[in-house]
A and B are shown apart, each in its own frame.
Chain A
Amino acid sequence: MLALFEKSAVVLELELRKMMHDQSDIIIRTIQPVLWLTIFGSVFGQLRQVPLSGVPYLAYMTPGVLAQSVLFMAIFTGVSLVWERDLGQLDRLLCAPIPRTAIVLGKALTGGVKGLFQAGIIFAIALVMGVSIIFNPLYMAAVIAVVLLFGICFSSLSIFVMTLLKTRERVMGIVQLITMPLFFASNALYPIELMPRWLQAISFANPMTYVVAALRALMITGDLSGLPTDLAGMGLATVIFVVLASAAFRKIGA
């Protein structure tokens, strides 16, 4: 078990060092959330017809945009893994004496850590735009933990789906197919109560919903009553996806 985490950490270090040498990816990834907050947020906020129990719309959607940008980023973990597999770069890890699960965990952890960079940027933008975020160190630490877990969760989902695909060409289509429903069938942009009943049922099974709810409680409302449920839902999804990803990944190259 200890060896597993040690090796996962090496994979994480490898990925982070690569990221530090080429920061363009991180910078480009900040553009999308900025657009969501500045354009979508300010226009949609004018409607004032969304029942948000007294929270300004921009504040309401900030955790949603944070979750979305981590989701979009995490979903590419599997895409880059498939690239590395096809280019033969993955062989170096596969022929080293490390558990397959360590590769999956290391890559997923990378997704989580990159998510933290996104979180930092979105915090900054939201503050500039006048969103009042709860500045309690404990809450902030909890936000970090949730983002990290979320990144791991969806990176694993991505690794699971992408390693099942045989060709890279299908990847981009699948990325859309996964991210859009996850995003729209969640409470990221609007409360679940506004959804038609069938969509509510889907959003209940959508891990994204629990993540957004947890982030919203910790960053904006401070109402922690639903937090245990949210964390349990997220934790469950993470365990399931890590196990699935490891199982699928074990067949790679066989």
Chain B
Amino acid sequence: MSKIIEAEDLTKIYAGNLTAVDHVSFSVDEGTLFGFLGPNGAGKTTTIKMLTTLASITSGKASVAYHDCAKEPNEVRKSIGIVPQDLAVDDDLTGIENVMLAAKLYRVPESIARKRAEELINLVDLKDASKRLVATYSGGMRKRLELIVGLIHQPRIFFLDEPTLGLDIQTRAVIWDYIKRLNKEHNLTIFMTTHYLEEADSLCDSVAIIDHGKIRISGSPSELKEKVGGDVLEIDVTNGASLTEFFRSIQGVKEVKQTGSKYRIKIPRAEEALPTIFEGISAKGLKIREVSLNKPTLDEVFLEVTGRSLRDEPSGAEDSFQRMITSRRRL
């Protein structure tokens, strides 16, 4: 697979010597879904802005859709679609007007744009609302419209900055469903940031965690989970000789803790080791009382590499989103 997005030592220093992004390197394979994760202020949005030519690059290199972001910004712009975190559609226009004007900005011929707009509007269930002013839309409808406004020119790469922030759980599920379908059915490469790690876990082919402007860890969600120690297997056995040495001898085991008759074992891909473990215990004439297997989540990976949990974060981003909405309304 070819690397449709490549960043090499990408750095952004704002006026006043504020380093927002610090020598960040990563790549995204064409047709995959890439998750860019990190706490507020970690540099996610700044990275997206550099990749989408909205912010200049202080040093380093970035290429998107095989074009250099600094040297050929217009070629990059032609190949990408964006759903920014902020408000991206016009309240004072109808849904269909927003879509058709976006098409014109990208020189999509009118007849093709109409046909595509109709398909997309149906896809996100906005048919009945398409002739209404966006000001009357709910948050979820607005987000769905933003998705199709970003897709009308059939980009090769779709950038989504917190696409489900501030939406309720049902709406989030619907949005993710659309995103997954676009990725699978249209081979669309997707670069997204999100606060919801369990969603990134189930959706993304690969993820990178950024904190204080630096990438701490990257890889597929299962790779990352393995890196932090893998699965946690808890076994309670009938009393007898200590099994600690036996567990340590099993390939892949990283850590064994014994408390009484209970053992806590850290091992990647525990399910593959289970038969060996069970057989070994039986061979020693012991009986298993209870077994539990816990798969680690991206939250644990996040905690491990950043030293804090994303859940504990004051949800500043959500607040600012609300502020945006209210200040827009006041205009």
* A91 cross-chain contacts in B, Cβ below 8 A: 54, 82, 84, 86, 88
CB–CB B88/A88 < 8 A? yes
CB–CB B101/A95 < 8 A? no
Main secondary structure of the interface of A (DSSP, over half): helix
Q: Given A10-B101, A95-B54, are A18 and B93 neighbors across the interface (CB < 8 Å)? A: yes
Indicate whether B87 reaches chain A with its CB closer than 8 angstroms.
yes
CB–CB B52/A14 < 8 A? no
Indicate whether B283 reaches chain A with its CB closer than 8 angstroms.
no
Q: Given A10-B104, A88-B87, A89-B90, are A97 and B74 neighbors across the interface (CB < 8 Å)? A: yes
Q: Which of A1-59 contact B (CB under 8 A)?
A: 6-7, 10, 13-14, 17-18, 21-22
One of B77, B89, B97 near A95 (C-beta < 8 A): B77
Which bracket fits the contact residues of A? 20 to 34
How near does chain A come to B149, taking the closest CB pair, in angstroms?
8
> Which residues of A are at the interface with B, using a C-beta cutoff of 8 A?
6-7, 10, 13-14, 17-18, 21-22, 83, 87-89, 91-98, 253-254
Cα distance A151–B108 when bound, in Å? 30
Q: Which of B8-36 contact A (CB under 8 A)?
A: none
Smallest Cβ-Cβ distance to B90: which chain A residue: A18
Q: Given A89-B87, A97-B106, A253-B55, are A17 and B324 neighbors across the interface (CB < 8 Å)? A: no
Smallest Cβ-Cβ distance to A22: which chain B residue: B92
Smallest Cβ-Cβ distance to B83: which chain A residue: A92
How near does chain A come to B148, taking the closest CB pair, in angstroms?
13
One of A89, A95, A96, A97 near B86 (C-beta < 8 A): A89
Cα distance A17–B90 when bound, in Å? 10
Cα distance A87–B87 when bound, in Å? 7
CB–CB A95/B56 < 8 A? no
CB–CB B77/A89 < 8 A? no
Indicate whether B102 reaches chain A with its CB closer than 8 angstroms.
yes
Q: Given A95-B52, A253-B49, A253-B54, are A87 and B328 neighbors across the interface (CB < 8 Å)? A: yes
CB–CB A14/B90 < 8 A? yes
Cα distance A217–B235 when bound, in Å? 97
Indicate whether B133 reaches chain A with its CB closer than 8 angstroms.
yes
Q: Given A87-B328, A253-B55, are A21 and B92 neighbors across the interface (CB < 8 Å)? A: yes
Q: Given A21-B93, A97-B74, are A13 and B104 neighbors across the interface (CB < 8 Å)? A: yes
How many A-B contacts if CB must be within 8 Å? 72
> Which residues of B are at the interface with A, using a C-beta cutoff of 8 A?
49, 52-56, 74, 77-78, 80, 82, 84-90, 92-94, 97, 101-102, 104-107, 133, 149, 324, 327-328, 331
How near does chain A come to B14, taking the closest CB pair, in angstroms?
10
Q: Given A10-B104, A88-B88, A89-B86, are A94 and B54 neighbors across the interface (CB < 8 Å)? A: yes
One of A7, A17, A22, A253 near B105 (C-beta < 8 A): A7
State the 4 A-B residue pairs at the shortest beta-carbon distance, nearest first.
Answer: A88-B86, A97-B77, A18-B92, A96-B105
CB–CB B84/A21 < 8 A? no
CB–CB B102/A92 < 8 A? yes
Cα distance A91–B133 when bound, in Å? 21
How near does chain A come to B144, taking the closest CB pair, in angstroms?
16
How near does chain B come to A23, taking the closest CB pair, in angstroms?
11
* A254 cross-chain contacts in B, Cβ below 8 A: 55-56
Apart from the given pairs A10-B105, A13-B104, A253-B49, 16 other A-B contacts in the complex at a CB distance below 8 Å: A6-B107, A10-B101, A14-B90, A14-B101, A18-B93, A88-B84, A88-B87, A88-B88, A89-B86, A91-B82, A91-B84, A92-B102, A92-B149, A97-B78, A97-B105, A254-B55
* B53 cross-chain contacts in A, Cβ below 8 A: 94-95
Give the most central of A7, A22, A89, A92: most B CB within 10 Å: A92
* A6 cross-chain contacts in B, Cβ below 8 A: 107
How near does chain A come to B316, taking the closest CB pair, in angstroms?
16
CB–CB B101/A96 < 8 A? no
How near does chain B come to A158, taking the closest CB pair, in angstroms?
17
How near does chain B come to A199, taking the closest CB pair, in angstroms?
37
How near does chain B come to A20, taking the closest CB pair, in angstroms?
9
Q: Given A95-B54, A97-B77, are A17 and B87 neighbors across the interface (CB < 8 Å)? A: no
Smallest Cβ-Cβ distance to B149: which chain A residue: A92
Q: Given A87-B328, A92-B88, A94-B54, are A17 and B80 neighbors across the interface (CB < 8 Å)? A: no
How near does chain B come to A78, taking the closest CB pair, in angstroms?
15
Smallest Cβ-Cβ distance to A254: which chain B residue: B56
* A92 cross-chain contacts in B, Cβ below 8 A: 82, 84, 88-89, 102, 149
Cα distance A89–B56 when bound, in Å? 18
Q: Given A10-B104, A21-B93, A97-B78, are A87 and B54 neighbors across the interface (CB < 8 Å)? A: no
CB–CB A17/B86 < 8 A? no
Cα distance A189–B201 when bound, in Å? 69
Q: What are 7 A-B contacts with C-beta separation under 8 Å?
A: A21-B94, A21-B133, A83-B331, A89-B86, A89-B88, A91-B88, A97-B105
How near does chain B come to A94, taking the closest CB pair, in angstroms?
6
Cα distance A96–B80 when bound, in Å? 9
Cα distance A13–B92 when bound, in Å? 13
How near does chain B come to A236, taking the closest CB pair, in angstroms?
31
Q: Given A89-B87, A91-B82, are A17 and B106 neighbors across the interface (CB < 8 Å)? A: no
